[in-house]
Amino acid sequence: MLGLVLTAGGARGAYQAGVLKRIGEIAALRHKPSPFRIVTGASAGAINGAMIAALSPNFREATQQLARLWSEVTVRDVFKADALSLGANGLRMLQDLTFGGLLPGAGVRSLLDASPLRAFLAKHLPLEGIAESIRRGHLYAAAVSATSYHSGKSFTFIEGTPGHPLWVKARRVTLAVRLTIDHICASAAIPIVFQPVRLRSEVGDFYFGDGGLRLVTPFSPAIRLGATRVFAVGIRCPRSADDLSQTELITRRDEEPKMPPPPLSQICGVFFNAIFLDHLDTDLDHLKRMNELVRRYGGGAVTSTQETDRPAMEPMRVVTPLAINPSEDLAIVAKALAHKMPRLVRYLMDGLGTPDAQSADLMSYLLFDSAYTRALIDIGYRDAAARIDEIEAFLLADAVGAVAPRPVSVLKPRTSRVASESSRPA
């Protein structure tokens, strides 16, 4: 089966919409079901994955609606940017810093109030279509990952064909659910910036945040669900402005004593880059190394370290990946359009530090303005167009007669075991 892996951060998710829009225009896919029978998403990638999964019967329509969603989004669709909301949040933050635990109340949960996002997604995401896509056989499973702030574990919520795999691993838990807007909002809740989202389940109510926090192996859910080929859309430019070459470091050596300490905005940018950008590239390298080992030594070379209460592990298999990343640094695009951010939010961000090239990374995750998102859609569209022959060959390689393999290293836990794993403190 062919899997789609989408991990993104905030407004950068618009780039993925552009890539998918161009893929939807492939002649062989027009008016056809989605080629992706397994769709996994985390962070803003959960929004994109949910749209593709829900509209699987007509892939082109799904990609067009996704591009339309991102091209029309505004800051006020995602978080409150008015003076009253920002001022009230600032006063609560000052109160917490001044009086600490002396005053009752839950305190500030985030820098911004992202409550408008739920209404926006409820209006645009037809999540009821996921069940229909599964019933009609166009979709095997859709998975959304989020991070539990109570246990520190990565939870993957799966809506799929009856009998789909579930697994429990170190710091990773899966649950079979009917995906809702709350699952999507939880996965897309940028840490610190957006408030956590409470999810109800048979094991209790817990607060969750961005799926990128703990999902250090973003290819894993798709592979464990049975994918033999995975197409991934990243959001990191290989020539990112924050990647200083050795030449640049040598050039700056004489200036080092004059360099000021990094402002908080730059630190936040590096923090978000570590969450949203690095995991996909690292896991892709790991997958390629594992493929080489399987080709060299065979898939049966696993296992003596497995726990005695677990069933025998399936042989490992080669999983063929294809990934696409931006050809331009999205932070530089955001910096050029920073004036589109509401004035009060821009004032808040400027207060975190000077708006230099590296501090623009933070802006690139929060600039939910149509001018910026349309620019990212255009970049994604062009990048996919430049590789469209390669992408088409990859997507259509197993379009006929494909049979899903048995998943590898998968454990189907009892409900009670999932409950104990999810409620155990970190």
Which residues, in sequence order, are CB contacts of 210 under 8 Å at separation 6+? 9, 42, 43, 146, 147, 187, 188, 189, 190, 191, 194, 275
Q: Whole domain around residue 242: which residue ranges? A: 2-79+114-417
Distance CA 252, CA 397 (A): 48
pLDDT of 303: 40
The tally of domains found in the chain comes to 1
pLDDT of 398: 63
Tell whether 40 is covered by a domain: yes
pLDDT of 363: 85
Using DSSP, state whether 161 is helix, strand or coil. Answer: coil
Tell whether 320 is covered by a domain: yes
For the domain that residue 284 is a member of, what is the CATH number?
3.40.1090
Tell whether 91 is covered by a domain: no
Tell me the pLDDT band of 31, cut-offs 50, 70 and 90. confident
pLDDT of 421: 38
Which residues, in sequence order, are CB contacts of 32 under 8 Å at separation 6+? 58, 59, 60
Query: For residue 367, how many other CB atoms are within 10 A of its CB?
Result: 29
CB 16 within 8 A of CB 42: no
pLDDT of 253: 52
- pLDDT tens digits for 331-370? 999 989 988 887 777 766 665 555 554 567 888 999 999 9
Tell whether 234 is covered by a domain: yes
Tell whether 135 is covered by a domain: yes
The whole-number average pLDDT for the span 9-23 is 96
pLDDT of 422: 38
- pLDDT tens digits for 230-280? 999 999 888 654 454 444 444 555 555 566 677 676 777 777 777 777 788
Distance CA 72, CA 343 (A): 20
pLDDT greater than 50 at residue 371 = yes
Nearest alpha carbon to residue 9 among 218, 205, 171, 231? 218
pLDDT greater than 60 at residue 309 = no
pLDDT of 187: 96
pLDDT greater than 90 at residue 226 = yes
- pLDDT tens digits for 165-184? 999 888 889 999 999 999 99
Tell me the pLDDT band of 310, cut-offs 50, 70 and 90. very low
Tell whether 84 is covered by a domain: no
Query: For residue 32, how many other CB atoms are within 10 A of its CB?
Result: 16
